[in-house]
Amino acid sequence: MLTADRYSTASGNGTATAPISMCAARFATSRPRQRRVRFTLEANKTYRLRLVHTGSSASVRFTVDSEHHTLTVVEADSTLVQPYDAAGVTLAAAQRYSVLVRTSNSTGFPFWMRAAVQSDMFTYDEPGQNLDICCVIRYGPTADASPLPVETDDPGVPSDAALQDMGTAQLAPAVVASAPAATRQYPLTIALELADSQLFLGFMNSTVRRAARSWSPLQGTTTLLQTRAAASNGSVYSADGGQFMVMEDSVQVVDLLISNLDDSNHPFHLHGHRPRTYAPFAYCTLRPLTRQAAWAPAPATTLAKP
């Protein structure tokens, strides 16, 4: 599970907490006194921006100030999607989006381009946090001479119902390809639970929960390297205690039924694969999107076809 699995789309009560970031960063400008990055663009042009969440913390909401700067989403995790207009785009850890921005504001003054960490995922405030990071875009005949805009908080989702933030359920692939029929199916249950250690830990499937253990990353090695080393020594690799493994010795089309038992959504990532995701499972016939980091909604079951 990703570190981001410790964070959800809604915080909850409890004494255990995940570590909180001190600041966000865009183009290494997270320090308040550091000179802000400025992009001077041409007026009446359309620019493609590639948004990448390289952190391991909470989700980030990307916006460009001014009602004239609509974000047109055209790509999600390297999958082209049908153009979709939005006021803002929220990225979970490891997600990527491409958006089109048109420099059509008649004034051409500088505008804030924001990346705001979604602090409602945290259970406490860290003193000195800087979670709303801004850089500047400017264009037009007076772009270089215009002063920076007054610093303000993120204006949030506009009240105009005609243009809201991006909803992942509305994303549709530009090229629809049918998925092959499944030959294997495995159920996965994912939950964050309070362990005997009084820590909230991530668990996958009931066999791991009964052992009251949580998966932890290997230090200085990988399962593949351990398997190879065992074969070189004439032995067989065996997973330690609480590890949960799905193994296939032949080419199969596998369905993963992911049941999120937590109270909130969590990102799901299968390393090295770009599964088609159908979420929630009840609407699995609608526009599956191939991507590497997808939301597993709660409480619901997501179908992933690696």
Q: Tell me if 177 is assigned to some domain.
A: no
295 band by pLDDT with thresholds 50, 70 and 90: confident
Strands (E), the chain: 38-40, 46-52, 60-64, 71-76, 79-86, 89-91, 96-102, 111-117, 132-138, 184-194, 200-204, 254-260, 266-269, 276-278, 289-290, 293-296, 300-305
Instruction: Report pLDDT for 159.
Output: 61
Contacts with 256 (C-beta within 8 Å, 6 or more apart), sequence order:
185, 186, 188, 270, 275, 303, 304, 305, 306
**Domain stops at, among 112, 138, 170:** 170
Q: pLDDT, tens digit, for every residue of 105-137?
A: 766 678 889 888 876 666 666 666 777 788 888
User: The tokens of 264 are what?
Assistant: 């909130």
Of the chain, the percentage scoring pLDDT greater than 70 comes to: 65
List the CATH number of the domain containing 144: 2.60.40.420
Give the three-state DSSP class for 68: coil
| Co-location of 271 and 140 in the same domain | no
Q: pLDDT, tens digit, for every residue of 124-180?
A: 666 667 777 888 888 877 777 777 777 776 666 666 667 888 988 788 899 888 878
| Co-location of 155 and 199 in the same domain | no
Instruction: Report pLDDT for 158.
Output: 63
| Co-location of 31 and 145 in the same domain | yes
Instruction: Report pLDDT for 290.
Output: 84
pLDDT at 46 over 90: yes
State which residues form the domain around 76.
Answer: 7-170
Q: Tell me if 175 is assigned to some domain.
A: no
| Co-location of 59 and 98 in the same domain | yes
| Co-location of 165 and 52 in the same domain | yes
306 band by pLDDT with thresholds 50, 70 and 90: low
pLDDT at 16 over 50: no
| Co-location of 61 and 161 in the same domain | yes
* Among 6-10, 22-26, 227-231, the range of highest mean pLDDT: 227-231
Cα 295 to chain centroid distance, Å, stands at: 7
Q: Tell me if 179 is assigned to some domain.
A: no
| Co-location of 219 and 124 in the same domain | no
Strand order across the 132-138 sheet: 38-40, 132-138, 111-117, 60-64, 89-91
| Co-location of 160 and 203 in the same domain | no
| Co-location of 127 and 30 in the same domain | yes
| Co-location of 206 and 268 in the same domain | yes
Q: Tell me if 62 is assigned to some domain.
A: yes
Give the three-state DSSP class for 120: helix
Q: pLDDT, tens digit, for every residue of 71-117?
A: 999 999 989 999 999 999 999 888 999 999 998 876 667 888 988 88
Q: Tell me if 2 is assigned to some domain.
A: no
- The model carries a pTM of 0.73
59 band by pLDDT with thresholds 50, 70 and 90: confident
Q: pLDDT, tens digit, for every residue of 218-235?
A: 678 887 888 889 899 888
**Domain stops at, among 144, 170, 196:** 170
| Co-location of 189 and 166 in the same domain | no
Q: Which residue has the higher pLDDT, 139 or 196?
A: 139
Number of domains in the chain: 2
| Co-location of 191 and 147 in the same domain | no
- Kindly report the average pLDDT of the chain as a whole number: 75
Q: Are the C-beta atoms of residues 91 and 53 closer than 8 Å to each other?
A: yes
